[in-house]
Structure 1
Amino acid sequence: MSSTGHCFDIGSATRESIHEFERRQKVLAQKINIPLDQLDFLSDQNLLENFDTFCSNEGVAGNGALMRLAPVPLFFQRDSKTAVEYSGISGQITHGDQKAYDACRYYGALIVAAVRGVPKFQLLSNEFYKDRMDWFNGKPLHKDIENIAKGSYKRKNGYEDGIRGKGYIVSALEAALWAFWIDEDSFEKGVLAAVNLGDDTDTTAAIYGQLAGACYGYNSLPEKWLKAVYANCDLQRAKEWMPADVSRWIRSLGEPFPKYAAIFIRKAVSGSSLLTVIDNKTLESYGVEDDQDRRKIVEYIKTLKSSSVQGVTSSNSGHDIVHNERYRNALYPFNTTGPADIRIQAAPLHYQS
């Protein structure tokens, strides 16, 4: 998970939780008499369910749980209740305090809403939590987090008014939302505001960036910053649909097409190949024997090509099309690729509220 491939910093709470997790693994491996390196391949559901993954002590409420949050609500964003609950669980694994659990749940809800196109003024509304209490599975927020949800961060003078980007998760959440509130719809201004609060600057900015990025989209990021990102070329390549994504798209078309999904994996068909190489003859050579099925697949591909997205490998068009055009039913709305953003042209999906 490191941006450089090496661990250059890890919070004490996370480190201690990882060590505790490893200790529990060793105990389990000895108990059931299997090699330690085979634990990741367990299929016994009872063993998996009984293994306690919550490895933090109670009362641990550092900001590390929030700074890594975004992948969880993004992954589950089509089901808001699941997204919110697993956002909380992701924090509680290493930060056992109730405030850490609820800070992650609330911020996860904000990220889900932002990805779905909820306007910024609604994200910042003091009624956001109240209006979406059904997302929280009947579990009320801790009063300190609820105070933030009601707008405690809305202090014009920031630092002078007591906003602090500290290691305590409540302070960090408040500071990140303050930066989002005063950023004038500018990702750059928001990051600088978060950093210039001082204290735990990188974490405050990382928390801010998750929500601001979901709200503003890829094109809002300063180009000069993008050029300086570590492994930028790898990230650019990662934007394109991988064969697994193409396979998911094929399955989403409904019967009889799911049976062909494995072919696209086996032939390593990427997003760009899908739009530029695949035709009737190629499909036949891949083993799609039914002529009518081949023709329909080609027609669906034409739908992708003729959509408003211009090019699979466009460096930064995709997310903003999702954001601005409200293509919200895509499988991966946080992707910056063409096909993922417009998959609903062929097979619409629906949210679970």
Structure 2
Amino acid sequence: MSSVGECFDIGASIKRALLEFENRQNNFASAYNISLEQLDYLRPSEVSNKFNVFCSEKNVAGSGALMRLAPVPLFFYRYPKYAVHFSGYNSKLTHDDQRAYDACRYYGALIVAALSGKSKKELLDDNFYSKHIDWFNHEPLHPDIMTVAQGSYKKKNGYKDGIRGTGYVVHVLEAALWAFYYDEYSFKKGVLAAINLGDNTDTTAAIYGQLAGAYYGYGRLPQKWLKYLYGHSFIKCLSKWIAYEAKRWNPNSVLPLTVTASGNQQQQSNITMDVSTKQHQDSNTNTSVSQPYSPQIAQAHSTKNHKSKSKLVLQTKGGEEQSESRKHTLNIMQPNGTPKALTPQ
């Protein structure tokens, strides 16, 4: 998505990760003899052990993960530990670096605190991390991120004092917080301050806007800017959908989640991921998050049992038979309503 309706730039790290993800999708579809369209309807519980979503190279400390962060803490803010955990998980998808990981965790925690009604003084407290250490599952922040969290951005002269909005995640985190600290409670002033730092201007402003937007709220955004925002109605609709699904989500029925940290070390988290809760079982619709919104899709999803369902079965590699109790059965929508077995070829 773009504020002007056209992609005018993409970071090299993001591009490489997306190409790797696309390659893995193609390989998976080929292995199970299914179409790429059908992949959209596979539940996480069906593919979590068969498809690695972490597509980043090692030591990628760019800002791409941080600038797309907001929907994660917005969704999980009622459960701060989950919000912080999945903020870091968001980073691992494309930026496998401890600094990028912890920048997302820290900023995710700030957004959660803003949504929870914390004051600006509380958000920018040099001891914010230690006061909310349980949100971080008592996991330390990278020293470079901790330096920022403890107030390195509080330099009045900004650029003259070394504040830089570069593509490096530590620099841009510091720059966005500097803009928030000195915005005089004005979203517009904060955005302009972030942009006027130069360098990677759109990224710095986008990261500032996530926290500032959570703190100030929609009503205090410049109306003139909203008027010219591409896809304004769609963004509002999507925001309501996130809020609706977030309210229904709960962590009571979950499966363990393992996050791979830098250095090829496995870190088993105490936080777990909801992959198939009762709330999803109660839903009457099957929704693909990769589908664009359209009246036709909305109409189809509003009609119960609009299309016939078919069952797909994931079998073990080599095609050996499984007992009924070990089969992974999946209900998906197929365009022609015909059943198809997911069998490695």
Structure 1 residues 67 and 29, CA gap change in structure 2 (3 angstroms): same
Structure 1 residues 96 and 157, CA gap change in structure 2 (3 angstroms): same
Structure 1 residues 62 and 8, CA gap change in structure 2 (3 angstroms): same
User: Residue deviations 1:134-154, cap 9 Å, x none?
Assistant: 101132111100111111111
CA shift at 1:5, angstroms? 4.4
Q: Does 1:123 align with 2:133?
A: no
Q: In structure 1, what is the equivalent of residue 196 of structure 2?
A: 196
Structure 1 gap ranges (5+): 250-257, 264-353
Structure 1 residues 24 and 212, CA gap change in structure 2 (3 angstroms): same
**Which is further off, 183-192 or 35-44?**
35-44
Does structure 1 conserve the Cα–Cα contact (< 8 Å) formed by 2:5 and 2:231? no
CA shift at 1:8, angstroms? 2.8
Structure 2: how far apart are the matches of 1:74 and 1:54? 22
CA shift at 1:33, angstroms? 3.3
Structure 2: how far apart are the matches of 1:121 and 1:6? 37
Structure 2: how far apart are the matches of 1:202 and 1:68? 12
> Does the residue aligned with 2:40 lie in a helix, a strand or coil?
helix
Residue type of the alignment partner of 2:170: V
Residue type of the alignment partner of 2:225: W
> Does the residue aligned with 2:134 lie in a helix, a strand or coil?
helix
Structure 2: how far apart are the matches of 1:86 and 1:174? 21
CA shift at 1:222, angstroms? 1.8
Structure 1 residues 2 and 79, CA gap change in structure 2 (3 angstroms): same
Structure 2 gap ranges (5+): 249-278, 285-345
Structure 1: how far apart are the matches of 2:144 and 2:43? 40
Structure 1 residues 239 and 26, CA gap change in structure 2 (3 angstroms): closer
> Does the residue aligned with 1:139 lie in a helix, a strand or coil?
coil
Q: In structure 1, what is the equivalent of residue 318 of structure 2?
A: none
Q: In structure 2, what is the equivalent of residue 159 of structure 1?
A: 159
Q: In structure 2, what is the equivalent of residue 252 of structure 1?
A: none
Structure 1 residues 86 and 156, CA gap change in structure 2 (3 angstroms): same
CA shift at 1:45, angstroms? 3.4
Q: In structure 2, what is the equivalent of residue 79 of structure 1?
A: 79
User: Residue deviations 1:2-52, cap 9 Å, x none?
Assistant: 345443321111111011011112222233333333223335836323321
Structure 1: how far apart are the matches of 2:22 and 2:239? 35
Structure 1 residues 116 and 240, CA gap change in structure 2 (3 angstroms): closer
> Does the residue aligned with 1:74 lie in a helix, a strand or coil?
helix
Q: In structure 1, what is the equivalent of residue 289 of structure 2?
A: none
Residue type of the alignment partner of 1:102: D
Structure 1: how far apart are the matches of 2:55 and 2:196? 33
Structure 2: how far apart are the matches of 1:127 and 1:109? 13
Q: Report 1:236-275 matches (<5 A).
A: 238=237, 245=244
User: Residue deviations 1:254-279, cap 9 Å, x none?
Assistant: xxxx9xx989xxxxxxxxxxxxxxxx
Q: In structure 2, what is the equivalent of residue 103 of structure 1?
A: 103
Task: Please report the TM-score for the alignment, with normalisation by the length of structure 1.
Answer: 0.65
Structure 1 residues 151 and 67, CA gap change in structure 2 (3 angstroms): same
User: Residue deviations 1:225-268, cap 9 Å, x none?
Assistant: 222222335556x39967x959x89xxxxxxxx9xx989xxxxx
Structure 1: how far apart are the matches of 2:149 and 2:118? 16
Residue type of the alignment partner of 1:164: R
CA shift at 1:161, angstroms? 0.6
Structure 2: how far apart are the matches of 1:135 and 1:77? 11
Does structure 1 conserve the Cα–Cα contact (< 8 Å) formed by 2:126 and 2:151? yes
Q: Report 1:280-299 matches (<5 A).
A: none
Does structure 2 conserve the Cα–Cα contact (< 8 Å) formed by 1:42 and 1:48? no
Q: Report 1:201-240 matches (<5 A).
A: 201-235=201-235, 238=237
CA shift at 1:163, angstroms? 0.3
CA RMSD in angstroms comes to 2.6
Q: In structure 2, what is the equivalent of residue 299 of structure 1?
A: none
Q: In structure 1, what is the equivalent of residue 29 of structure 2?
A: 29
Q: In structure 1, what is the equivalent of residue 143 of structure 2?
A: 143
Residue type of the alignment partner of 1:168: Y
Matched residues, number: 250
**Which is further off, 160-169 or 26-35?**
26-35
Structure 1 residues 48 and 245, CA gap change in structure 2 (3 angstroms): closer
Q: Report 1:303-318 matches (<5 A).
A: none
Structure 1 residues 228 and 47, CA gap change in structure 2 (3 angstroms): closer
Structure 1: how far apart are the matches of 2:238 and 2:93? 29
Does structure 1 conserve the Cα–Cα contact (< 8 Å) formed by 2:2 and 2:230? no
Task: Please report the TM-score for the alignment, with normalisation by the length of structure 2.
Answer: 0.67
Q: Which has the higher helix share?
A: 1
Structure 1 residues 3 and 189, CA gap change in structure 2 (3 angstroms): closer
Q: In structure 2, what is the equivalent of residue 69 of structure 1?
A: 69
Structure 2: how far apart are the matches of 1:50 and 1:97? 23
Q: Which has the higher contact order (CA 8 A, sep 6+)?
A: 2
Structure 2: how far apart are the matches of 1:241 and 1:156? 37
